[in-house]
Amino acid sequence: SQQGEEDPQALSIQEGENATMNCSYKTSINNLQWYRQNSGRGLVHLILIRSNEREKHSGRLRVTLDTSKKSSSLLITASRAADTASYFCATDNFGNEKLTFGTGTRLTIIP
Amino acid sequence: SQTIHQWPATLVQPVGSPLSLECTVEGTSNPNLYWYRQAAGRGLQLLFYSVGIGQISSEVPQNLSASRPQDRQFILSSKKLLLSDSGFYLCALAVSSGRLGEQFFGPGTRLTVL
C-alpha cells in the first residue's frame, strides 16, 4: 500500500508563480525523497531530506519536513514551463531496503 | 555514473501470452534492483526487489515473477499475461552502502495487453 499521499492531486499555476505540494506519511522514516516524472518517462530524483533535518534547499526547490506531523512539502519557486510534470514523495522506512512512493501531484505550468 | 537500460520501450501482447522484460545496469556493482508498475495517471507499485544475485523479494502476489541471474541484470516475467498487467514498468536501482539513498530509474517499458 502507498504510505505517502500527495496533496493536491493536480495543480495548475501560471509561469513564474510558486508551486507547493504536500506529502503525508504514516510511519517513522529514515528519510523522505522527492522525485519528478515527465510524461512517459522514468522518475528523476530531486532532493532527499533526512529525518533529523527540517528544511533543505536545492536551486529553486525547497523541501520541509515535519516529523511530528508526518508531513513534508515541496516548494518550487519561480515556476517554468519545463517544471510541468508529476511529482512524487517517497519514504525510506527503517529496516527496509525499499522506498514507498506516494500517489503523486500532477503539476501543470501555464505559459 | 549509473545507467539503466530497459527494453523493449513499448510492447503489445495478447492475453495469455508470456512476458519477459529485461533491465541491465552499468556503472555500479552489487546494486539493489527494483521493478515497479505504474498504471495510467497513478503512483508506483513496487512489484519485486533484489539485494543480490538470486535474491528476490515479492511485494505483490500475482502472475508475475522476477529473477536476477547476474549482478547487473534483473528480469521480469510472466507465463500468461492478464489484461490487468497492462501498465508502465520501471526498473530502478539503489546503491547499497548500508544506508538507503536515492533511486535511479530506467526509461520504462509500456506494456499493453489486449
Cell of A9: 492531486
Question: Over the stretch B48-107, which tens digit does the pLDDT of each residue have?
Answer: 999 999 999 998 868 899 999 999 999 999 999 999 999 999 999 998 665 567 899 999
Q: DSSP states of B39-75 as a string? A: -TT--EEEEEEEEETTEEEESS-SSEEEEEEETTEEE
- Give the model's pLDDT for residue B61: 65
Per-residue model confidence (pLDDT) at position A95: 62
Q: CA–CA separation, A51 vs B112, rounded Å? A: 39
In the predicted model, is pLDDT for residue A1 greater than 80?
Answer: no
User: Which of A98-102, B45-49, B73-77 shows the lowest mean pLDDT across its residues?
Assistant: A98-102
Sheet with B73-78, strands from edge to edge, namely B3-7, B19-26, B73-78, B64-70
Q: How far apart are CA B67 and CA B79, in angstroms?
A: 13
- Summarised one tens digit per residue, pLDDT across range A26-79 is 988 889 999 999 998 999 999 999 999 999 999 999 999 999 999 999 999 999
Q: Which of B4, B44, B51 is the closest to A101 by Cβ?
A: B44
Q: Name A15's Cβ contacts closer than 8 Å, sequence gap at least 6.
A: A79, A80, A81, A109, A110, A111
Nearest to B100 among A30, A42, A88 (CB): A30
Using a CB–CB cutoff of 8 Å, tell me whether A26 touches chain B. no
Instruction: Provide, as residue numbers in chain A, all residues whose Cβ is less than 8 Å from the Cβ of B30.
Output: none
The chain B residues in contact with chain A (CB within 8 A) are 4, 32, 34, 36, 41-44, 46, 49, 51, 57, 59, 88, 90, 92, 94, 96, 99-108, 110
State whether residue A69 sits within 8 Å of chain B by CB: no
Q: Give the pLDDT of residue A97.
A: 76
What is the rounded average pLDDT for all residues in chain A?
92
User: H or E segment at A56?
Assistant: strand A55-58
- Report CA-CA distances (Å) from A80 to A33, A39, A45, A97, B112: 22, 16, 18, 35, 33
What is the nearest CA distance from B33 to chain A, expressed in angstroms?
9
Query: Which residues of chain B make contact with A33, given a CB cutoff of 8 A?
Result: 102-103
Q: Measure the CA–CA gap between A70 and A24, rounded to whole angstroms.
A: 6
Q: How confident is the model at residue A11 (pLDDT cuts 50, 70, 90)?
A: very high
Distance (Å, rounded) from C-alpha A78 to C-alpha A75? 10
Lowest mean pLDDT, pick from A9-18, A97-106, B90-99: B90-99
pLDDT tens track for A67-90: 999 999 999 999 999 999 999 999
